[in-house]
């Protein structure tokens, strides 16, 4: 246990080429999906505003990929990396974004995606509400002795919600199988992190709760995956909670309707050098796992997959007025809501 104020240096596990290729593919799919989404917004072809995660794909993908389908992951509100990492398909994501009843949440999710069969149990919109919910999920797994691990994802911006401290308290108090997975992307909505957060790192606060912590390069997908694997198995074995802080950078604005003019071009240039996809590709080529042509093929395949999923989702039947009213209560038909209204 590292309560010495410096955190723990986690071992870097060897990563096999197939896993690294899978991580790369998921990052590229995430990047391309968000790029195509932004293009559709630009052309006014799509309604749904987005909080894109360009530049921080490695965190969500590495985390999601390291978990079992039965583990619970509470994603951040930024981008789709966690969903892709955890195994949600483009078809399912876009059916929900297009609010089609064929989606896993019957088109009721919108940005608030969920897919219970892969451990994605729901996304909150009031940032930080999911700290307590994740503690409940972790407590449930502990009481049921199910061996499931819960991961709560958030950013350094949401670290200011008071429930983070309360959740670290109960997680340590009850030795919950809960991983705090924070992405420090240097931006809190439209403001630099130093205007929101009083310390450069948030993870050292875990010391106050007796929770071990580590700071990880969030732009190195292999490092993210390795850290997640190590920590999740430790937490699964009953060691209690863990706090991971992934250092990354949001290479775009807070949301799709925001021009990002408050961001600093020098910082963006510096971080583009550390683009997680470029870093991963460099490694794949250096290790002889993939050629430049292979990597271009991955990108083309991702674009084709996303484009096809969007086209299919767009052509699915729309929800009806009755579909909209239905489902407020378990098994409640639309008539119930119609009656009340």
Partner 1 sequence: MAEMPYAAAVNRALAEELAHDERVVLLGEDVRAGMFGTTSGLVQRFGEDRVINTPIWENGIAGMALGLAITGLRPIAEVMFADFMYLAMDQIANQIASWTYMTGGQTSVPLVIRTAGGAGFAIGYNHSQVTESAFVGPPGLKVVAPSNAADAYGLLKTAVRDDDPVLVFEHKFLYFVPQEVPDEEFLVPLGKANVLRPGDDVTIVAIGSMVGKALEAAETLAAEGISAEVIDPRTLVPLDQETIFGSVARTGRLVTVEEGRKRGSVGSEIAAEVAEKVFGSLKAPVVRVAAPDIPVPPGPLAESMYVPSAERIVETVRGLVA
Q: Based on the shown chain and the rule CB under 8 A, indicate whether residue 304 belongs to the binding site for partner 1.
A: no
| Min separation Cβ 129 and partner 1, Å | 5
Between 125 and 208, whose beta carbon lies closer to partner 1? 125
| DSSP letters spanning 278-341 | HHHHHHHHHTTS--HHHHHHHHHHHHHHHHHHHHHHHHSPPP-HHHHHTTSSTT--HHHHHHH-
Check if the beta carbon of residue 29 is closer than 8 Å to that of residue 84.
Answer: yes
Q: Binding to partner 1 (CB under 8 A): which residues in 56-85?
A: 72
| Min separation Cβ 340 and partner 1, Å | 7
| Min separation Cβ 114 and partner 1, Å | 5
**Among 167, 186, 214, 248, interactor with partner 1 by CB under 8 A:** 167
Q: Based on the shown chain and the rule CB under 8 A, indicate whether residue 125 belongs to the binding site for partner 1.
A: yes
Contact string 231-270 vs partner 1 (x = CB under 8 A): ----------------------------------------
Check if the beta carbon of residue 48 is closer than 8 Å to that of residue 34.
Answer: no
Three-state SS annotation for 80-109: CHHHHHHCCCHHHHHHHHCCCCCCCCCCCC
Interior CA angle at 254 toward 198 and 99, to 5°?
A: 130
Count Cα neighbours of 212 within 13 Å in the Cβ-side half-sphere: 17
| Min separation Cβ 44 and partner 1, Å | 27
**Among 15, 139, 201, 334, interactor with partner 1 by CB under 8 A:** 139
**Among 98, 131, 187, 249, interactor with partner 1 by CB under 8 A:** 131
Q: Based on the shown chain and the rule CB under 8 A, indicate whether residue 172 belongs to the binding site for partner 1.
A: no
Q: Give the SS3 label for residue 264.
A: coil
**Among 104, 177, 218, 241, interactor with partner 1 by CB under 8 A:** 104
Between 147 and 260, whose beta carbon lies closer to partner 1? 147
In the chain, how long is the greatest CA-to-CA distance? 65
Q: Based on the shown chain and the rule CB under 8 A, indicate whether residue 170 belongs to the binding site for partner 1.
A: yes
By C-alpha distance, which of 168, 174, 247, 176 is closest to 211?
Answer: 168
Distance in angstroms (rounded) separating the CA atoms of residues 251 and 58: 13
Interacting residues toward partner 1 by CB under 8 A = 72, 103-109, 112, 114-116, 121-122, 124-126, 129-141, 143-144, 163, 166-167, 169-170, 173, 327-331, 337, 340
């Amino acid at each position: 246990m590292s309560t010495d104020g410096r955190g723990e240096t986690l071992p870097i596990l060897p990563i096999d080429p197939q896993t690294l290729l899978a991580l790369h593919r998921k990052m590229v799919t995430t990047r391309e999906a968000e790029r195509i989404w932004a293009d559709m917004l630009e052309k006014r072809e799509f309604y749904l505003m987005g909080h894109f995660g360009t530049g921080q794909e490695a965190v969500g993908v590495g985390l999601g990929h390291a978990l079992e389908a039965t583990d619970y992951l509470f994603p951040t509100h930024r981008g789709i990396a966690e969903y892709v990492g955890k195994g949600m398909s483009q078809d399912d994501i876009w059916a929900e974004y297009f609010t089609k009843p064929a989606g896993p949440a019957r088109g009721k999710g919108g940005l608030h995606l969920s897919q219970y069969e892969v451990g994605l149990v729901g996304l909150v919109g009031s940032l930080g509400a999911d700290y307590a919910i994740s503690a409940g999920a972790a407590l449930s797994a502990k009481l049921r002795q199910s061996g499931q691990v819960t991961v709560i994802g958030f950013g350094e911006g949401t670290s200011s919600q008071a429930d983070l401290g309360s959740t670290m308290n109960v997680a340590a108090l009850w030795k919950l199988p809960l991983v705090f997975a924070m992405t420090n992307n240097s931006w809190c909505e439209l403001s630099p992190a130093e205007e929101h957060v009083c310390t450069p790192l948030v993870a050292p606060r875990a010391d106050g709760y007796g929770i071990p912590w580590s700071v990880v390069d969030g732009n190195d997908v292999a490092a993210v995956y390795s850290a997640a694997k190590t920590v999740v198995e430790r937490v699964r074995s009953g060691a209690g909670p863990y706090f991971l802080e992934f250092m990354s950078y949001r290479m775009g604005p807070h949301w799709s309707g925001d021009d990002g003019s408050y961001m600093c071009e020098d910082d963006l240039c510096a971080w583009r050098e550390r683009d997680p996809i470029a870093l991963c590709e460099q490694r794949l080529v250096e290790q002889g796992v993939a050629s430049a042509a292979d990597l271009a093929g991955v990108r083309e395949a991702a674009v084709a997959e996303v484009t096809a999923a969007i086209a299919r989702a767009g052509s699915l039947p729309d929800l009806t007025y009755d579909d909209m009213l239905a489902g407020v209560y378990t098994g409640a038909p639309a008539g119930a809501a119609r009656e009340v209204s």
